[in-house]
Amino acid sequence: MTDRGDQPDAADRTASADRGPARDRHVPVMRDRILDLLAPALDREGSVHVDATLGMGGHAEGVLDRFPGATVIGIDRDREALALSGERLARFGDRFRPVHAVYDEIAAVVAGLGLTAVDGILFDLGVSSLQLDETDRGFAYRVDAPLDMRMDQSTGMTAADVLNTYDAADLARVLRDYGEERFARKIASAIVRERQIELFTTSGRLVELLRRAIPMASQRQGGHPAKRTFQALRIEVNDELEVWRRAITGAIDVLAVGGRIAVLSYHSLEDRTTKQAFVAGATSSTPPGLPVELPEHAAYLSLVTRGGEEPPDAEVALNPRAASAHLRVAERVRATPPTSATTSATKSTKSTKSRKGSTR
How many Cα atoms occupy the beta-carbon half-sphere of 4 within 13 Å?
15
Tell me if 46 is assigned to a ligand binding site. Answer: no
Phi, psi of 301, deg, nearest 5: -125, 155
Give ranges for CATH 3.40.50.150 in the chain: 10-130+241-351
pLDDT in tens, 62-100: 999 999 999 999 999 888 889 999 999 999 999 999 999
Read off the pLDDT of residues 270-316 as tens digits, 9 standing for 90 and up.
Answer: 999 999 999 999 998 877 777 777 777 899 999 999 999 999 999 99
> Any known ligand binding at 103?
yes
Give me the mean pLDDT over the 122-136 stretch.
68
What would the pLDDT profile of 204-236 be if each residue is shown by its tens digit?
A: 999 999 999 999 888 887 778 988 999 999 999
> Per the annotation, does 166 bind a ligand?
no
Q: Is 300 annotated as a binding residue?
A: no
Is 131 flagged in the annotation as binding?
A: yes
Q: How far apart are CA 290 and CA 204, in angstroms?
A: 62
- For 72, residues 6+ apart whose C-beta sits below 8 A from its C-beta are 48, 49, 50, 51, 60, 63, 64, 89, 92, 95, 96, 97
Dist CA 219 CA 202 (whole Å): 22
Per-residue pLDDT reduced to its tens digit, 237-252: 988 899 999 999 999 9
265 in Cβ contact with 274 (< 8 Å): yes
In single-letter form, the type of residue at position 152 comes to D
- CA–CA distance, 327 with 291 (Å, rounded to integer): 36
Start-end ranges of CATH 1.10.150.170 in the chain? Answer: 135-238
135-238 topology per CATH: DNA polymerase; domain 1 (1.10.150)
pTM above 0.85, yes or no: no
Query: Which comes out higher in pLDDT, residue 129 or 162?
Result: 162
Stretch among 85-99, 125-139, 159-173, 309-323 having the lowest mean pLDDT: 125-139
Is position 266 annotated in a ligand binding site? no
Residues 184-213 as b or e (16 or more Cβ within 10 Å = b):
bbebbebbbebbeeeebeebebbbebbeeb
Position 4 scores a pLDDT of: 39
Superfamily, domain 10-130+241-351: Vaccinia Virus protein VP39 (3.40.50.150)
CB of 358 closer than 8 Å to CB of 102: yes
57 is in an annotated binding site: yes
Question: Counting every residue, how long is the chain?
Answer: 360
